């Protein structure tokens, strides 16, 4: 589809369809919940099913290949419009959720790299994409108005995981895929999306919630386990196991109950049986011949990132890594030198990709400013998770925040190996969850004041 056709469709979507839909659903919580549930489900769709790209550069190996627009964001604008139109009499209503300015500060600091970038239009592509996604954060914040909305979020996540697990099982056993990627572009973002979504479900399933809800949460959690195991992502398998242990330990902060003890015993039995079935495949994956070469590539890519940071404290340009890692720039020479040391022939015309570590990518592209402000944002929002977990430690909300606290910690540690939080679907689910955290932090502050 040509840009001349896509541009009017995008403008109509954001400026006409979204406000119109928002006006239509402003008085119906049922309709708003349907739209929000669809947003959650879309985080698992094929990327080309809900995005349109202007000025696309498909041959570019950077993390942003054009000016990207998403139907999830259009639905977010609709929810924001509905909230704005229905705000009458609510003196606590405000546009900006807690944490919004921190995230925008990260985007602003990253934009300073524009002045050092060899390809300045690539910086603008990243700026539009990463700044615009805050709409999802705000939509989640404004949509969550009562505890039942959090319950809906959890059920939507469960349903989405179950559907994706069915897709994964079909690919594994009918299509005979080795490392299954589902509807995602790669198995790593699939697995990290699954455990970020699934661990909070495990935490809530262990809490004091109705049996009907518990069944949903258990089904969603086991779907996430199937997805992670089928992806055969080595790091995700380890982090998922660590996450389960963390969630179980944090769950007992709310007290030792018969339900929690029975749940942990049952989980142990089922987990052991599942591991016995899959242990052969998992062991083979950990002994793949390419593992060592993959690790060495990560090391030299990090060295190249360090060289970029040393050359410019504001970075070489947001979304410019895939440009500067190749000729005529010399940052990629360390990779070629390593290949020659291993006796491999170097193809001078081969375009190198982007470093896997999210943190080295931030340092290389956006310098110290982008890196520091990003860390500030994730530290503050993770702290809100911890405080909320402790505040509601004997309630469902505390269980949800405890599971999310564990999932976020693991995701951020894992991000040193995989830059999935630069990918649209992972970022969208991340923003939905953090927007929910922002709303719960508002509730916590209100309760403390009272």
- Distance from C-alpha of 237 to C-alpha of 275, rounded to nearest angstrom: 11
What is the reported pTM? 0.94
Per-residue pLDDT of the chain (450 residues; tens, 9 = 90+): 788 899 999 999 999 999 999 999 999 999 999 999 999 999 999 999 999 999 999 889 899 999 999 999 999 999 999 999 998 777 778 889 999 999 999 999 999 999 999 999 999 999 999 999 999 999 999 999 999 999 999 999 999 999 999 999 999 999 988 889 999 999 999 999 999 999 999 999 988 888 888 899 999 999 999 999 999 888 888 899 899 989 988 887 766 777 667 777 776 676 666 665 556 555 555 555 555 656 677 889 999 999 999 999 999 999 999 999 998 999 988 888 887 777 777 777 778 889 999 999 999 999 999 999 999 999 999 999 999 999 998 899 999 999 999 999 999 999 999 999 999 999 999 999 999 999 999 999 999 887
In the prediction, which pLDDT does 88 show?
A: 78
H or E element that contains 190: helix 187-205
- Distance from C-alpha of 245 to C-alpha of 239, rounded to nearest angstrom: 10
Helix (H, G, I), strand (E, B) or coil at 63: coil
In the prediction, which pLDDT does 277 show?
A: 57
**The two three-digit tokens of residue 27, written as one number:** 């008085």
Strand partners, 51: 70
Find, among 450, 439, 438, the residue nearest to 99 by Cα: 438
Class of residue 201 by CB neighbours under 10 A (exposed 0-12, middle 13-18, buried 19+): buried
Q: Domain residues of the chain, as ranges?
A: 3-288+358-449
- Distance from C-alpha of 118 to C-alpha of 197, rounded to nearest angstrom: 38
- Distance from C-alpha of 402 to C-alpha of 389, rounded to nearest angstrom: 5
Name 256's Cβ contacts closer than 8 Å, sequence gap at least 6: none
């Amino acid at each position: 589809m040509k840009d001349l056709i896509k541009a009017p469709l995008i403008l109509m979507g954001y400026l006409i369809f979204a406000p119109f839909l928002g006006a239509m659903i402003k008085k119906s919580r049922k309709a708003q919940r349907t739209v929000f549930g669809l947003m959650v489900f879309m985080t698992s769709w094929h990327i080309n099913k809900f995005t349109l790209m202007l000025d696309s550069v498909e041959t570019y190996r950077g993390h942003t290949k054009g000016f990207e627009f998403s139907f999830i964001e259009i639905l977010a604008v609709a929810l924001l419009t509905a909230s704005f139109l229905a705000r009458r009499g609510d003196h606590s209503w405000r546009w900006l959720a807690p944490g919004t300015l921190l995230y925008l500060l990260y985007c602003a600091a990253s934009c300073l790299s524009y002045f050092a970038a060899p390809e300045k239009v690539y910086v603008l592509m990243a700026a539009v994409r990463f700044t615009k996604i805050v709409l999802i954060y705000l939509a989640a914040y404004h949509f969550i108005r009562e505890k039942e909305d959090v319950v809906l979020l959890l059920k939507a996540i469960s349903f989405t995981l179950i559907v994706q697990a069915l897709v994964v099982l079909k690919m594994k056993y009918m299509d005979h895929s080795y490392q299954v990627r589902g509807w995602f572009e790669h198995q790593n973002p699939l697995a990290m999306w699954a455990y970020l979504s699934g661990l909070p479900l495990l935490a809530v399933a262990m809490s004091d919630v109705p049996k009907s809800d518990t069944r949903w949460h258990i089904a969603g959690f086991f779907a996430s386990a199937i997805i992670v195991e089928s992806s055969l992502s080595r790091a995700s398998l380890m982090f998922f196991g660590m996450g389960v242990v963390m969630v179980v330990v944090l769950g007992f902060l709310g007290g030792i109950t018969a339900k929690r003890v029975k749940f942990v015993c049952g989980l142990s039995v089922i987990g052991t049986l599942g591991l016995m079935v899959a242990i052969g495949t998992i062991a083979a994956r950990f002994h793949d011949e390419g593992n060592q070469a993959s690790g060495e590539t990560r090391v030299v890519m990090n060295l190249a990132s360090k060289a970029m940071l040393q050359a410019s404290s504001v970075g070489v340009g947001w979304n410019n890594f895939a440009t500067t890692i190749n000729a005529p720039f010399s940052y990629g020479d360390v990779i070629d030198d390593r290949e020659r040391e291993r006796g491999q022939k170097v193809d001078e015309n081969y375009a190198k990709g982007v470093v896997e570590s999210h943190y080295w990518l931030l340092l290389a592209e956006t310098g110290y400013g982008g890196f520091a402000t990003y860390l500030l944002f994730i530290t503050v929002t993770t702290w809100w998770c911890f405080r909320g977990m402790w505040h509601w430690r004997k309630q469902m909300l505390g269980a949800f925040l405890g599971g999310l606290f564990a999932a976020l910690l693991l995701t951020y540690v894992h991000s040193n190996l995989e830059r999935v939080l630069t990918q649209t679907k992972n970022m969208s689910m991340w923003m939905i969850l953090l927007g929910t955290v922002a709303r719960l932090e508002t509730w916590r502050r209100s309760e403390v004041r009272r």
